[in-house]
């Protein structure tokens, strides 16, 4: 993922006639924090926080707890976040954090201890006006609430603006859970309008988690002519050319079922889903889902990157060369960080907005960003990915 992000920044920088020094400055992180957390039980875990750029405002980005976390991954995600906040027009920078841990192997008490000690290792470097972390893979509102409490105890800050993604009762924002999926629907809608595609469309979702499920649920509520014909989770999934009810799939999944066991439709693998004949391929699972090895199988005309880095650099080049449209992650999944920013804003102003106000603000940011990226792509003869990085780069180069 880091290689893809760096390659895209270099490509865009050269197209914009930036100097090698300017491109290097865009890529290099400001600061990297690398430390070890030891629990009372003696268990030890490596922890990271990469602060990539604060040119536009405080660093912003999630914290993931996963056994495969490494420094390169955190660097890549921090870099992408700087460009994501920039393309969205937010007064925030980019950062990312992680701990090398499988949280399923910890007791609740150990998980709380780990969360609090992560904050102890970083509290001098984070805060409402320095760096505002959020949840990511395997972290949630409960973990963030523990972190906010620890930060408050260590610093005396009572604004709760030190972190976003908190529980609603603890200063979290309404609309946050659905924000990334809802944002993907807004971006796709705007793009279809600009491409004058007003016929019914079919789409497939790889990754029926929080993001993929909310994308499908919001799409059904707002665009009844968008037909969900396939969905997968880590087990695989199902395909049905006549379509699925997003609500039925979601209820089945929430009941503990694996999509491969859903009673309706033909069983498919995640690899099968990549090659389905659909209008839109929604990638909401993990990075590098489409690589040079399977890019040739993609039949969809539009690939929506709802995960971070789901299309490798080589695959992006292959898809673009044959006229397919890749909607880049820094635009397509920016809904999450936009509502995180709105949560931070509410905390700073001691406000709590109704959900419809949050959703209207989210829509305004994404409609504007999509319009700017699309216009840049036409004016400068760039792909949407290049245009998104160009819009962000113009705001980050100083």
Mean pLDDT for the stretch of residues 161-176: 97
Task: Say yes or no to pLDDT of 56 above 80.
Answer: yes
- Report the domain count for the chain: 2
Question: Residue 112, Cα to own-chain centre: how many angstroms?
Answer: 25
d(CA 347, CA 335): 18
d(CA 308, CA 136): 11
Domain boundary among 332, 359, 375: 332
Supply the pTM of this predicted model. Answer: 0.94
Looking at the fold, whether 184 and 156 belong to one and the same domain comes out as no
Give the pLDDT of residue 168.
Answer: 97
Looking at the fold, whether 183 and 308 belong to one and the same domain comes out as yes
Q: List, in order, residues 6 or more apart from 241 with CB less than 8 Å away.
A: 202, 229
Looking at the fold, whether 208 and 272 belong to one and the same domain comes out as yes
| Domain around 308 | 179-332
Could you tell me if residue 377 is inside a domain? no
Helix/strand/coil for 24:
helix
Q: Which two tokens stand for residue 112?
A: 């709380």
Helix/strand/coil for 226:
strand
Give the pLDDT of residue 247.
Answer: 96
Looking at the fold, whether 37 and 141 belong to one and the same domain comes out as yes
d(CA 93, CA 344): 13
Helix axes 313-321, 2-15, angle to 10 degrees: 50
Looking at the fold, whether 184 and 279 belong to one and the same domain comes out as yes
Helix/strand/coil for 104:
helix
Task: Say yes or no to pLDDT of 100 above 80.
Answer: yes
Residues identified as active-site = 96
Task: Say yes or no to pLDDT of 273 above 90.
Answer: yes
Q: Which two tokens stand for residue 216?
A: 């499908």
Label residue 108 by pLDDT band (50, 70, 90). Answer: very high
Give the pLDDT of residue 104.
Answer: 93
What CATH number is given to the structural domain containing 38?
3.40.50.10860
d(CA 3, CA 91): 26
Window from 6-15, 325-334, 370-379 with minimum mean pLDDT: 6-15
Looking at the fold, whether 131 and 264 belong to one and the same domain comes out as no
Task: Say yes or no to pLDDT of 87 above 90.
Answer: yes
Looking at the fold, whether 190 and 246 belong to one and the same domain comes out as yes
Domain boundary among 135, 164, 193: 164
Task: Say yes or no to pLDDT of 2 above 80.
Answer: no
Could you tell me if residue 93 is inside a domain? yes
The alpha helices in the chain, defined as continuous H runs, are 2-15, 20-27, 71-88, 108-122, 141-155, 179-194, 210-222, 246-254, 270-274, 313-321, 329-332, 335-348, 355-379, 384-396
Give the pLDDT of residue 286.
Answer: 82
Looking at the fold, whether 186 and 273 belong to one and the same domain comes out as yes
Label residue 221 by pLDDT band (50, 70, 90). Answer: very high
Give the pLDDT of residue 196.
Answer: 93
Give the pLDDT of residue 11.
Answer: 87
Looking at the fold, whether 188 and 156 belong to one and the same domain comes out as no
Mean pLDDT for the stretch of residues 312-331: 95
Could you tell me if residue 46 is inside a domain? yes
SS3 content of the chain, % helix, strand, coil (to 5): 50, 20, 35
Could you tell me if residue 210 is inside a domain? yes
Mean pLDDT for the stretch of residues 330-357: 97
Give the pLDDT of residue 6.
Answer: 86
Give the pLDDT of residue 160.
Answer: 96
Give the pLDDT of residue 206.
Answer: 97
Could you tell me if residue 143 is inside a domain? yes
Average pLDDT, the chain: 95
Could you tell me if residue 124 is inside a domain? yes
Label residue 15 by pLDDT band (50, 70, 90). Answer: confident
What CATH number is given to the structural domain containing 193?
3.40.50.720
Task: Say yes or no to pLDDT of 141 above 90.
Answer: yes
d(CA 159, CA 171): 9
Looking at the fold, whether 158 and 188 belong to one and the same domain comes out as no
Give the pLDDT of residue 287.
Answer: 84
Task: Say yes or no to pLDDT of 64 above 90.
Answer: yes
Looking at the fold, whether 236 and 284 belong to one and the same domain comes out as yes
Mean pLDDT for the stretch of residues 124-138: 95
CA-nearest of 179, 189, 182 to 302 is 189
The alpha helices in 42-127, defined as continuous H runs, are 71-88, 108-122
Task: Say yes or no to pLDDT of 67 above 90.
Answer: yes
Could you tell me if residue 349 is inside a domain? no
**Residue 57 backbone phi and psi in degrees, to 5:** 160, -170
Label residue 187 by pLDDT band (50, 70, 90). Answer: very high
Domain boundary among 107, 134, 164: 164
Task: Say yes or no to pLDDT of 1 above 90.
Answer: no
pLDDT digits (tens, 9 = 90+) for 24-44: 999 999 999 999 999 999 999
d(CA 77, CA 1): 8
State the CB neighbour count (10 A cutoff) for residue 235.
Answer: 15
Could you tell me if residue 37 is inside a domain? yes
Measured in residues, the chain has a length of 398
Give the pLDDT of residue 116.
Answer: 98
Helix/strand/coil for 245:
coil
Residue 134 · residue 95 · CB < 8 Å = no
Window from 2-16, 54-68, 227-241, 288-302 with minimum mean pLDDT: 2-16
User: Please, what's the b/e burial string for 186-223 (b: 16 or more CB within 10 A of its CB; e: otherwise)?
Assistant: bbbbbbbeeeeeeeebbbbbbbbbbbbbbbbbbbbeeb
Looking at the fold, whether 154 and 212 belong to one and the same domain comes out as no
Give the pLDDT of residue 4.
Answer: 81
Give the pLDDT of residue 328.
Answer: 95
Give the pLDDT of residue 137.
Answer: 86
Mean pLDDT for the stretch of residues 120-138: 96
């Amino acid at each position: 993922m880091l290689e893809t992000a760096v390659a895209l920044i270099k490509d865009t920088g050269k197209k914009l006639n930036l100097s090698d020094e300017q491109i290097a400055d865009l890529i290099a992180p400001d600061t990297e924090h690398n430390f070890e957390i030891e629990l009372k039980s003696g268990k030890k875990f490596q922890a990271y926080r990469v602060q990539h750029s604060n040119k536009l405002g405080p660093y912003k980005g999630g914290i993931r707890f996963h056994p495969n976390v490494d420094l390169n991954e955190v660097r890549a995600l921090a870099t992408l976040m700087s460009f994501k906040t920039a393309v969205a027009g937010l007064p925030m920078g980019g950062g990312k954090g992680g701990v090398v841990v499988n949280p399923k192997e910890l007791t609740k008490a150990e998980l709380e201890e780990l969360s609090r000690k992560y904050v102890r290792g970083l509290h001098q470097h984070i805060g409402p006006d320095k760096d505002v972390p959020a949840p990511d893979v395997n972290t949630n509102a409960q973990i963030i609430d523990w972190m906010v409490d620890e930060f408050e105890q260590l610093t005396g800050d009572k604004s709760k603006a030190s972190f976003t993604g908190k529980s609603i009762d603890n200063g979290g924002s309404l609309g946050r859970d659905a924000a990334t999926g809802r944002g993907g629907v807004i971006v796709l809608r705007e793009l279809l309008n600009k491409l004058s595609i007003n016929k019914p469309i079919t789409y497939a979702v790889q990754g029926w988690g929080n993001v993929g499920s909310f994308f499908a649920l919001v799409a059904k509520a707002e665009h009844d002519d968008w037909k969900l014909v396939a969905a997968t989770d880590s087990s695989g999934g199902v395909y049905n050319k006549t379509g699925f009810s997003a609500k039925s799939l979601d209820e089945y999944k929430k009941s503990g079922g694996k999509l491969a066991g859903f009673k309706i439709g033909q069983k498919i693998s995640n690899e099968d889903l990549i090659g389905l004949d659909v209008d839109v391929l929604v990638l909401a699972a993990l990075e590098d889902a489409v690589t040079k090895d399977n890019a040739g199988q993609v039949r969809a005309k539009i690939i929506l990157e709802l995960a971070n880095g789901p299309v490798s650099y080589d695959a992006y080049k292959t898809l673009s060369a044959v006229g397919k449209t890749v909607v880049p992650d820094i635009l397509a999944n920016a809904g999450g960080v936009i509502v995180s920013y709105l949560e931070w804003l509410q905390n700073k102003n001691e406000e709590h907005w109704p959900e419809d106000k949050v959703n209207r603000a989210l829509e305004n940011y994404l409609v504007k960003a999509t319009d700017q990226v699309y216009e840049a792509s036409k004016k400068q003869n760039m792909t949407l990915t290049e245009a998104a990085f160009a819009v962000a780069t113009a705001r980050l180069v100083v």
